[in-house]
Amino acid sequence: MIVLEENNVKVSKGLLIFGILMILSGVFTWLNPDAALLAIALYLGIVFLLGGISYLHAFFSIHSGGLLALGLLDIIVGVILMTNLGVTVSSLPVLLAVWVLCVGVIQIAFSIDAKSSGLIFWKWTMGSGIIGVLFGFLILSHPMIGVFTISLMLGFYLILYGCLGVGEYFAWKKLLEK
């Protein structure tokens, strides 16, 4: 954060503190995957619910069956995640695998429709759908891969995000000292 004080520009230590807290959160995630999965379950429940509402809102404007399907699917997954946090933690990899599979199938169907409509992005959507289906089946066949992947990736992201915050703090500080 950059703070303006009269004619001086200062770098807030809040950015540095935030970066350090993100790094610590990433390490905590790696060391405590169960607690991290509980937090992820709640967060994802909220995200899925809001995403589903957004898809439904878009459906009423565009009247696309794909948007309706994604909206209803995301709302159902969001409600499941938020109302059953204890069960969700143990089943999160399977729920995510099923969600990834469903989204992958919907993307494949949408890409076929997009291709017949002459839209040029259909290949990217098809590729994304195929990767989603394959990844969903991989997690379903080996759920511990899902737990490990979720914890590893979240921890890595938090540490990376924290390092970027710390780096940004020192870069701004150095820039403003000139």
pLDDT band at 59 (very low <50, low <70, confident <90, very high): confident
Higher pLDDT, 173 or 130: 130
pLDDT band at 146 (very low <50, low <70, confident <90, very high): confident
**Residue range(s) defining the domain that contains residue 73:** 2-177
pLDDT band at 81 (very low <50, low <70, confident <90, very high): confident
pLDDT band at 11 (very low <50, low <70, confident <90, very high): low
Please state the domain count of the chain. Answer: 1
| pTM attached to this predicted model | 0.54
Q: What is the mean pLDDT of residues 32-57?
A: 86
63's torsion region: left (phi>0), alpha (psi -120 to 50) or beta? left
Give dist(CA 118, CA 99) in Å, integer. 28
Position 49 scores a pLDDT of 93
User: What confidence tens digit (pLDDT) does each residue in 151-178 have?
Assistant: 887 788 889 888 988 888 888 778 777 6
pLDDT band at 4 (very low <50, low <70, confident <90, very high): very low
100: exposed, middle or buried (C-beta count within 10 Å: 0-12, 13-18, 19+)? Answer: buried
Position 5 scores a pLDDT of 52
Give dist(CA 155, CA 158) in Å, integer. 5
Helix (H, G, I), strand (E, B) or coil at 2: strand
User: What confidence tens digit (pLDDT) does each residue in 94-112 have?
Assistant: 877 888 899 899 999 988 9
> With 70 as the cut, is the pLDDT of residue 6 above it?
no
Position 58 scores a pLDDT of 87
Q: Where are the beta strands (DSSP E) in the chain?
A: 2-5, 8-11
Give dist(CA 43, CA 174) in Å, integer. 36
174: exposed, middle or buried (C-beta count within 10 Å: 0-12, 13-18, 19+)? Answer: exposed
> What distance lies between CA 104 and its chain's CA centroid?
16
